[in-house]
Structure 1
Amino acid sequence: MMTLFTFDRAPEFAHGFVRDIRIRWALEEAALPYTVASVPFEPRRHLAQQPFGQVPFLRDGEVELFESGAILLHLGELSEHLLPRAVPTRAQAISWLFAAFNSVEMETLPWVYFHFNRVQNQPGWLAVLEKRRDRRLDSMETALAGRQWLGEDFSIADIAMSDVLRLVGHLGGLADYPACRDYVTRASARPAFIKAHQDQLAYFARTAD
């Protein structure tokens, strides 16, 4: 059975958004059995498993992986519910998986951090970050127009992309992007996401006691 590692606690504002949710979601979609274990939020002693002291990381027998994208790709290899087997559609799913983290999240996270850190009196910086964010959201709005998922069927690419956009939407960043909003709504309505989200909230509620 696989073991998914996350922090033993997290700031309350991050509950429901800690990145182990992406892996929980994929495991639930594929009905793969797993357990959840924790490592200390502070001090971070798991550098042998995750060189940057982050989560998630996954243990699957003798295989250990870190970084959400690498773990999602590994799980995709285990289940065609997560990654198509036909070469053309598989290639598209993998491309969008990398795009979620390398093209979209990279340009939206600075804006997210700006809000989470409650930076005040920095309108110039906010305008710069909003421009970077919107450049990627404009592209995603075009890509998602008239489409249910990024490929023919739901895949790990949609887990990655919708979760990146979900955080942006949580902070009000999708107000002018209806296709992106609808996409996040569809993804978040999937039973596997609902269970993963509820499980993460319950997990951190227990560890906060």
Structure 2
Amino acid sequence: MTPTITAFASSPDRGAGLSRDMRVRWAFEEVGQSYNVRLVTFQQMKEPAHLALQPFGQIPTYEDGDLALFETGSILLHIAETHPGLLPDDADARARAITWMFAAVGTVEPPILELQTAKFAEGQESWREQRMPLVLDRIRVRLAELARRLGESEWLDGAFSAADIMMVHVLLRVKPSGLLDEFANLAAYCARAQARPAYQRAFAAQLAVATGG
């Protein structure tokens, strides 16, 4: 069967490639797996049919036969484990790649999401201006740590893997702030990933939804 994922019918990012279904699209493109997309509105995301797939009312979800998954980390890991090319064959290298997937969403992404909350959800609060430098500094700490570990390496750990899909997409969410440009090796890392044909195909597919193309 062809897997089906859900995505925003009208994405808040207006086709910038920041919506989390981009991670799943990219993984599918890397492994050459065709997939279907079911677009859902914000109202549909809170209705019983969608909540049965994603109890928190978010996207994306993944369905393949009787299997239904949510959370991009879980979905990417499943794709990588059932298709060659996104996880190393060596057991130790495979474990390290999975560790980096967890690090992307568990360690690097949280302060980046805090910035989005500060800018949008809390944008009108009187204490926003005082809080913002603290939020930016927390992101800088994480980016500096990651930049130091990446060094001059092309990818996180040897060959390109699902870990790089997850980490790059997390980093791209902070790119509009300009913080990513403070770390030349991280900016170059993201640029290498975005130049991959699979990324370009996934981005075009997500952009087509936003533009109606």
Q: Is the aligned partner of 1:52 residue 2:56?
A: yes
| Identical-pair percentage | 39
Query: Residue 8 of structure 1: CA displacement?
Result: 1.6
Going from structure 1 to structure 2, the CA distance change for 1:19 and 1:12 (only over 3 Å counts) comes to: closer
SS of 1:174's equivalent? helix
Match of 1:76 in 2: 80
Cα contact 2:105–2:166 (8 A) shared by 1:
yes
Provide, for residues 81-102 of structure 1, a one-character-per-residue CA deviation record: whole Å limited to 9, x for no partner.
1111210110110000000000
1:66-124: CA deviation from partner (whole Å, max 9, x where unpaired): 00000000001012211112101101100000000000001211113323458266221
Q: Which runs of 4+ in 1 moved over 3 A?
A: 12-15, 115-118
SS of 1:33's equivalent? coil
Residues 134-178 of structure 1, C-alpha deviation per residue, up to 9 Å, x if partnerless?
A: 111111110111100011111110000000001111321212111
**TM-score normalised per structure 2:** 0.91
**5+ residue gaps, structure 2:** none
| Structure 1 unaligned residues grouped into runs of 5+ | none
- Alignment pair present for 1:19 and 2:23: no
Per-residue deviation, 1:205: 1.9
Deviation at residue 199 of structure 1 after TM alignment: 0.6
1:162 counterpart residue number = 168
Name the amino acid aligned to 1:146. Answer: E
Give the stretch that moved more between structures: 111-120 or 137-146. 111-120
Distance in 2 of aligned mates of 1:14 and 1:123: 29
CA distance, structure 2, for counterparts of residue 198 and residue 171 of structure 1: 23
Any residues of structure 2 matched to 1:1-209 within 5 Å, and which?
Answer: 1-13=2-14, 15-43=16-44, 44-45=46-47, 46-117=50-121, 119=123, 122-206=128-212
Letter in 1 for 2:7: T
Number of aligned residues: 207
**Which letter maps to 1:160?**
M
User: Within 1, Cα distance between the matches of 2:208 and 2:122?
Assistant: 26
SS at match of 1:53: coil
How far apart in 2 are the matches of 1:117 and 1:141? Answer: 29
